[in-house]
Amino acid sequence: MLEVQNLSMRFGGLLAVDQVSLDVQEQEIVSIIGPNGAGKTTVFNCMSGFYKPTGGKIVFKGKEIQGRPDYKISRLGMVRTFQHVRLFTRLSVVENLLVAQHRHLNTNMLAGLIGTRNYREREQRALDRAAYWLERVGLLELANRDAGNLAYGQQRRLEIARCMVTEPSLLMLDEPAAGLNPAETKELNQLIVSLKEAYNVSVVLIEHDMSLVMDISDRINVISQGCPLASGTPEEIRQNDDVIKAYLGEA
Ligand SMILES: Nc1ncnc2c1ncn2[C@@H]1O[C@H](COP(=O)(O)OP(=O)(O)OP(=O)(O)O)[C@@H](O)[C@H]1O
């Protein structure tokens, strides 16, 4: 469903991403790993429309999307979370999920003001979806709390719910386990696997927690200093000498 071909991104004199290719099939969890500064988030930013890549192609569901704005890419069904949580901290938990759906559906303001039947039905569906996903990520009881008052692990789960209410086919998670304790990481592991198995979602994951990556990935792509270093199953990556060297070099 997604094919990234020879993606490159240059910032002035720095070639942050150099000819990176990867693909994601339906219902697959594909991870991107690599030492700090390898270019992982830059790949994400290109894929999700935050940066216009300086080279290469990104094909999602048969359409070339490189350089398209982020809101158009998310309407095609490819949504992301961020390395640093980006919620509306002064809105309630449930409002965060409603705003996400409004932005996604491009709701007609006038229909909202007049309160047409169609609009009311859509609002009800949005509320139902929000309640469903809050329950799913264990936040229903906190629906009316300000998002900014949630514990960090809860905010990260809310971010995933905020993506899921838009019913994506591909979810991109940027370091979802960062800052989580072991119990929360285990819950996250189960949640991500269930997204794939129960909701037919494909996942692209950037993550430094190797036990999580090795446990849930179908395939892993390793990049180092912007360049592709290796790709394969968790077992192949675990035994790859270049990968071991890149990581030992970092330590
Ligand atoms: N907007 C930007 N302008 C200039 N340089 C940038 C920009 N974004 C990223 N870079 C540079 O590109 C390189 C890759 O950064 P990137 O954040 O993609 O790495 P990463 O693999 O995600 O790192 P980490 O694991 O630490 O998050 C770094 O040298 C970074 O400083």
* Segment 112-156, tens digit of pLDDT: 667 677 778 888 899 999 999 999 999 999 999 999 999 999 999
- Atom 7 of ligand 1, residue of closest alpha carbon: 11
State the ipTM, two decimals: 0.94
What's the gap in Å between 7 CA and the centre of ligand 1?
Answer: 15
- Long-range pairs of 65-74 with CB within 8 A, sequence gap ≥ 24: 66/7, 71/103, 73/47, 73/48, 73/49, 74/48, 74/49, 74/104, 74/166, 74/168
Average pLDDT for 8-28 = 96
d(CA 226, CA 240): 18
Q: Is ligand 1 within 6 A of the CB of residue 126?
A: no
Q: Distance (Å, rounded) from C-alpha 74 to C-alpha 57?
A: 17
Range(s) within the chain of domains with CATH label 3.40.50.300: 2-87+167-249
Residue 110 has pLDDT above 90, yes or no: no
Residue 187 pLDDT > 70: yes
Neighbour tally for 209: CB within 10 Å = 19
Determine the atom of ligand 1 nearest the C-alpha atom of 44: 18
Q: Is 148 in the pocket of ligand 1 (CB under 6 A)?
A: no
Report pLDDT for 38.
Answer: 92
Say if residues 154 and 142 touch (Cβ distance below 8 Å).
Answer: yes
How many angstroms is it from 130 CA to the middle of ligand 1?
33
Residue to substitute in 10, 17, 20, 41 for testing ligand 1 pocket (most ligand atoms within 8 angstroms of CB): 41
- pLDDT of 43 reads 96
49 lines ligand 1 (CB under 6 A): no
CATH architecture of 2-87+167-249: 3-Layer(aba) Sandwich (3.40)
Regarding the beta carbon of 39 and ligand 1, being less than 6 Å apart is answered: yes
Measured in Å, residue 162 CA sits from the centre of ligand 1 at 25
pLDDT of 250 strictly over 80: no
Residue nearest atom 25 of ligand 1, based on CA coordinates: 36
pLDDT digits (tens, 9 = 90+) for 29-49: 999 999 989 999 999 999 999
What is the pTM assigned to this prediction? 0.90
User: What is the Cα gyration radius of the chain?
Assistant: 19
Over residues 48-56, mean pLDDT = 95
Ligand 1: residue whose CA is nearest its atom 28: 37
pLDDT in tens, 202-248: 999 999 999 999 999 999 999 999 999 999 999 999 999 988 888 76
Dihedral sign (CA 26, 52, 226, 250) = negative
Ligand 1 center to 40 CA (angstroms): 8
Task: Decide if 83 contacts 36 (C-beta within 8 A).
Answer: no
Q: Hey, which of 9, 14, 210, 222 would you mutate to test ligand 1's pocket, going by the most ligand atoms within 8 Å of its Cβ?
A: 14
